[in-house]
Amino acid sequence: MHVKLRLSVKKNCRKPTLLGWLLILLLLFLSYRIFLGDVCAFLSVNEPVKAETLVVEGWINDHALKEAMTLYRKNGYKHFIITGQPITQWQDFMKFKNTAEGASAVLRSLGFSDSIFMAVIPKSVFIDRTYNTAVATRIIFERHPHWKHSFNIYSVGVHARRSRLMFERAFGSDFRVGIISVVDPTFDPRHWWRSSKGFRNVSNEFAAFSYVWTFFHPDYKLFRRNLLAGLYTDSITHERKMKDRELADSLTTPLNKASLKHFSGLDYFPVNESYRIKAKFEIDTSGSVFEMPTNTNRKPKFRVYGHLYFRLNDTLSRLTAYQSRNVNSDTVWGDYLFVPFRDKSCGKESYAAGRYIDLNIPHADSVVIDFNMAYNPYCAYAERWSCPLVPSENWLTVSVLAGERKFRNKR
């Protein structure tokens, strides 16, 4: 018995006639021409609305910034917002931390004197950056509730339509969002397919817009929370870098020569927002001026200014804030309070004698204490310095694993 194996079957099928093929080719050609001719114009949308606020994307070139400034003045805008993304290259050598700062400097050099609000995003954000700048812009509006609920975005070229869509998703239906797009000078928008730059820009933006329009429906509250947390971390990190630079400079350092020779930066606990605590503040200036002991014979004069009550690591705690009588007339330090403290980490993870925090004098019954900003006295770096000792009333019964760690002289 023979079994015949079949690898194919015969079926009847229809195929286009010559006229059918010509019609298909014509439709393909028309679709191709329509796409080539209209997609760039579709993405480079210009649909402004009546508004008092102009939002400028901070990545645009200097010429476009100048045109944005002219547009702002000509149309009587009242509020100028510029978005910004972190500059991630050559961070330690750049004057500006983000593109908004750089664009603002360009505008100032061109004679722009009105207020510039910067809607920047943190370094921790690597995806959905345009949407995050929209969230940062909305936060500015939230802080100015008297502003009208309409604005125009100023963008360049084919990025415009996606930018507007991102802002519409961030602001919702309560806002009218307009868009102004200026011509991208890096390629011919009428024949964008003739250059690699034009082809990349248009095809990438068309794909990105299609994806966002179809699939991107973000949780605004989640993005807002993550953005604020990232900006907070960036601000602490920046302060730490500035201090490291100061300590590395022989003209401003408190380090001795031996320590400076091997200095490569201070040690810090990781930034932890749970150590940024809202405390109840009670003013108390009834006490007399007293001399605070130091590790030397020097005795600077202070007075108790008030008390801070807060919960830290599930423990009710209190710190006393002091006002220096040596600097209270100073225009810089006269508005600050001195809060020295010791905690259970002293001598182990942190400096044995304790650390310091500076606070602006509160004008309400509450204040934020940020232990991430806790710093060592100069005595931690070199014995030649004279530093106030922490009064016993400011000895905490919990560990504060935030701020500056114990100084270790690296060799």
* Residue in 260, 226, 274 with CA at minimum distance from that of residue 372: 274
For residue 328, pLDDT beyond 80: no
For residue 164, pLDDT beyond 90: yes
In whole numbers, what is the pLDDT of the chain averaged over residues?
89
Tell me the average pLDDT across 354-380: 94
**Predicted pLDDT of residue 92:** 66
Q: Give the model's confidence band at 6: pLDDT under 50 very low, under 70 low, under 90 confident, else very high.
A: low
**Predicted pLDDT of residue 191:** 84
Q: Give the model's confidence band at 7: pLDDT under 50 very low, under 70 low, under 90 confident, else very high.
A: low
Question: What does the pLDDT look like over 294-317, one tens digit per residue?
Answer: 999 999 999 999 999 999 988 999
Out of 152-156, 263-267, 359-363, the most confident range is 152-156
Tell me the average pLDDT across 257-263: 88
**Predicted pLDDT of residue 332:** 47
Contact indicator for 187, 193 with CB cutoff of 8 Å: no
Whole-angstrom CA distances from 144 to 117, 148, 255 are: 11, 9, 45
Percent of the chain with pLDDT over 70: 90
**Predicted pLDDT of residue 249:** 92
Q: Give the model's confidence band at 51: pLDDT under 50 very low, under 70 low, under 90 confident, else very high.
A: very high
Tell me the average pLDDT across 124-141: 93
Tell me the average pLDDT across 219-244: 93
Q: Give the model's confidence band at 3: pLDDT under 50 very low, under 70 low, under 90 confident, else very high.
A: low
For residue 42, pLDDT beyond 70: yes
Percent of the chain with pLDDT over 90: 68
Tell me the average pLDDT across 192-214: 89
Q: Give the model's confidence band at 258: pLDDT under 50 very low, under 70 low, under 90 confident, else very high.
A: confident
Q: Give the model's confidence band at 331: pLDDT under 50 very low, under 70 low, under 90 confident, else very high.
A: very low
Tell me the average pLDDT across 324-351: 81
C-alpha 228/C-alpha 239 separation (Å) is 17
For the chain, which residues make up each domain, given as ranges?
53-221, 267-394
Contact indicator for 133, 85 with CB cutoff of 8 Å: yes
C-alpha 91/C-alpha 53 separation (Å) is 31
For residue 30, pLDDT beyond 60: no
Q: Give the model's confidence band at 228: pLDDT under 50 very low, under 70 low, under 90 confident, else very high.
A: very high
Q: Does domain 53-221 have CATH number 3.40.50.620?
A: yes
Q: Which of 48-52, 77-81, 201-205 has the lowest mean pLDDT?
A: 201-205
For residue 33, pLDDT beyond 60: no
Q: Give the model's confidence band at 272: pLDDT under 50 very low, under 70 low, under 90 confident, else very high.
A: very high
**Predicted pLDDT of residue 325:** 83
**Predicted pLDDT of residue 142:** 95
Q: What is the 3-state secondary structure (H, E, C) of the chain?
A: CCCCCCCCCCCCCCCCCHHHHHHHHHHHHHHHHHHHHHHHHHHCCCECCCCCEEEECCCCCHHHHHHHHHHHHHCCCCEEEEEECECCCCHHHCCCCEHHHHHHHHHHHCCCCCCEEEEECCCCCCCCHHHHHHHHHHHHHHCCCCCCCEEEEEEEHHHHHHHHHHHHHHHHHHCEEEEEEECCCCCCHHHHHHCHHHHHHHHHHHHHHHHHHHHCCCCHHHHHHHHHHHHHHHHHHHHHHHHHHHHHCCCCCCCCHHHHHCCCCCCECCCCHHHEEEEEEEECCCCCCEECCECCCCCCEEEEEEEEEEEECCEEEEEEEEEECCCCCCCCHHHEEEEEEECCCECCCECCCCEEEEEECCCCCEEEEEHHHCECCHHHCCCCCCCECCCHHHECCCCCCCCECCCCCCC
Contact indicator for 255, 382 with CB cutoff of 8 Å: yes
Q: Give the model's confidence band at 327: pLDDT under 50 very low, under 70 low, under 90 confident, else very high.
A: low
For residue 230, pLDDT beyond 60: yes
